[in-house]
Structure 1
Amino acid sequence: MASSWLLLLLPVLCLGTLPTTSHAARAFFVFGDSLVDNGNNNYLITAARADSPPYGIDTPDHRATGRFSNGKNVPDLISEHLGAEPVLPYLSPELDGDKMLVGANFASAGVGILNDTGIQFRLYDLGARRVLVQGVGPIGCVPAELALHSLDGSCDRELQRAAEMYNPRLMSLLGELNAGYGGDVFVGVNMQRIHNDFIDDPKAYGFETATQACCGQGRFNGMGLCTMMSSLCADRDAYVFWDAFHPTERANRLIVQQFMSGSVDYIAPMNLSTVLAVDLHKEQLRT
């Protein structure tokens, strides 16, 4: 029986089938930056780390895990929806044997996008049949940018305009790739639209603020790193942003809700719940 593999590369997610003699299983792999890093940088010599308090303050044991959040990040929450345990960092010494069958997280805070990043699309040749690609979020609205360029909490228009130019071109490219592969292989996520919902009307989503970071210092708490010396909010659920760049766990939960069940305004041509249902049906027809 074929084994279903769910491969998440933020900003890309892939779903495919690989031949195997074992029973069906689903694995989850993550690639990306600090938005999805769950501890790889703990094992690297770098200043981009989240392995000390107050990071992780709202995890069950209140321990900093290397996630740039007060709690869980997007891959953790997708694993919840899949009914699977969170994947381990690929540098973790605990990642061996059967745990590798669950998947692995290859994300690392501070990575960028290079011209050869498109090599990820070659995963199709290895069996990946679904690729979810995130667009650029509201980069002009993060507290770090507000601290530098905003007097009243308004987003930086130039950065917002850059994202608005990039995202439609990305969706067009995904459409061309789908036409070439003859199916809905590539799925695009409108991250700017998802975040803008919170930013334009935070109170409608139960937030008190979308401009002030929970942890930081300076204007909008957007200056420098989140440390034990930082100003720390008491109610993390009231904030869209945990630190100068990254969402709180509650914001991440709302983001993943759109991944799983959002309309085509947020994720197209289908959401992840539909992707999983369609592929399960195809698998059942083959057996």
Structure 2
Amino acid sequence: MINLVENSRFYLIFVFVLALEFNYLCNHVEGKAFFVFGDSLVDNGNNNYLATTARADAPPYGIDFPTHRPTGRFSNGLNIPDIISEKMGWEPTIPYLSRELSGQKLLVGANFASAGVGVLNDTGIQFVNIIRIYEQLNFFRQYQQRLMREIGATEAKKLVNESLVLMTLGGNDFVNNYFLVPYSIRSQQYSIQDYVPFVISEYKKVLQRLYELGPRRVIVTGTGPLGCVPAELALHSNNGECAEQLQLAASLFNPQLVQMIDELNQDIGTDVFVAANTNQMHMDFISNPEQFGFQTSKIACCGQGPYNGLGLCTPFSNLCPNRDLYVFWDAFHPSERANRMIVDQIFGGSTTYMHPMNLSTIVTLDSRA
């Protein structure tokens, strides 16, 4: 019990020091644009404009958002890009498909993410109409053309070069592709040991294309502990143990992602890409939720069935009264409070969590440039 109290105090002091440091450093990054690419972990409403089942536009999604209404975020409140923007003192990014993204709002950046997508084009085909990753990059190119008309080619190029980018992909290539059904096409083509390098090789092409489009600071998150989310516990767990094959996939994917990022940076000659070990960040919560003030890391706040892990979060689902006590909001996605802790590590985490540097270091380096 003493260790738990000491650890909690240390964490609170750690967060307080980070907040002071962030307030100081953010004075140096005013005006920096922020761009977001990826899946439902970072989608802030693009899928609301699409005819797809991968949507979070109905209550109780958004119950803790400032408006207390669903926004398309797969969260009870803010998601990771929202919290990064908040801590940086920036306006939140607007979904690229929103009509609000025009004029001076373009200078804030944009969110291109779409729930259900993966690295591979055949990932998420069951959701039908989603913005696959190369389409997101094509939208980014269109965005830059719109930006040029607003502020001119030279300033547009400078804004993109000096921007911060968040890229979150990979989990769906396993959950909504390889392991979606017992005999998926990909699982018949590849063993998991061969599938992971295939996905990594395709991911490398995505990041190379992103680099060609101009950004020079890109945070790339790994997958979380895929076998430990409530959805997989509901399907595979008898006593709360994580699903072995999905955990194996995550344990193979994340180190290979870091290796690939190192290779890209070496080829470029500078640290453009930064790997965020979101797998370890989540495992900290899952291994000892009480240490971080959570009641459970197995049961979703919103859902039904075992671990509240079956089906979608809907107005008819079980809903916990205090979202701050739950690591998971729904069957797959973290609660806002868990997201805030993840962002704390993205900003100030050691090399265990951020490689080769954290966001605080990036901000410091860029403020001196």
User: Smaller-chain TM-score range?
Assistant: 0.7 to 0.9
Please, which of 162, 173, 196 is the counterpart of residue 249 of structure 2? 162
* Counterpart in the other structure of 1:5: none
Distance 1:63 1:216 in 2: 18
Please, which of 77, 100, 109 is the counterpart of residue 115 of structure 2? 109
Distance 2:213 2:317 in 1: 46
Identify the structure with the greater strand proportion: 1
TM-superposed deviation, 1:61: 2.1
TM-superposed deviation, 1:153: 0.9
* Counterpart in the other structure of 2:60: 54
1:70 aligns with 2:76: yes
Distance 1:61 1:134 in 2: 28
Please, which of 38, 41, 49 is the counterpart of residue 47 of structure 2? 41
Please, which of 281, 286, 295 is the counterpart of residue 208 of structure 1? 295
TM-superposed deviation, 1:110: 1.0
In structure 1, runs of 5+ residues without a counterpart are: 1-23, 283-287
TM-superposed deviation, 1:147: 0.2
TM-superposed deviation, 1:113: 1.2
TM-superposed deviation, 1:255: 0.4
Residues 99-248 of structure 1 mapped to structure 2, 5 A cutoff: 99-114=105-120, 118-248=205-335
* Counterpart in the other structure of 1:276: 363
SS of the residue aligned with 2:103? coil
Distance 1:126 1:142 in 2: 34
The CA RMSD over aligned residues, in Å, is: 1.5
SS of the residue aligned with 1:31? strand
Distance 1:129 1:38 in 2: 23
SS of the residue aligned with 1:121? helix
Distance 2:217 2:92 in 1: 20
Identify the structure with the greater helix proportion: 2
Please, which of 328, 347, 359 is the counterpart of residue 260 of structure 1? 347
- CA displacement 1:12-53 (0-9 Å, x = unmatched): xxxxxxxxxxxx831111111111111111111111111110
Report the more deviating stretch, 169-178 or 115-124.
115-124
TM-score normalised according to structure 2 size = 0.68
- CA displacement 1:109-146 (0-9 Å, x = unmatched): 11121275524423333432222211121000000000
In structure 2, runs of 5+ residues without a counterpart are: 1-29, 121-198
Residues 91-102 of structure 1 mapped to structure 2, 5 A cutoff: 91-102=97-108
Identity rate, percent? 63
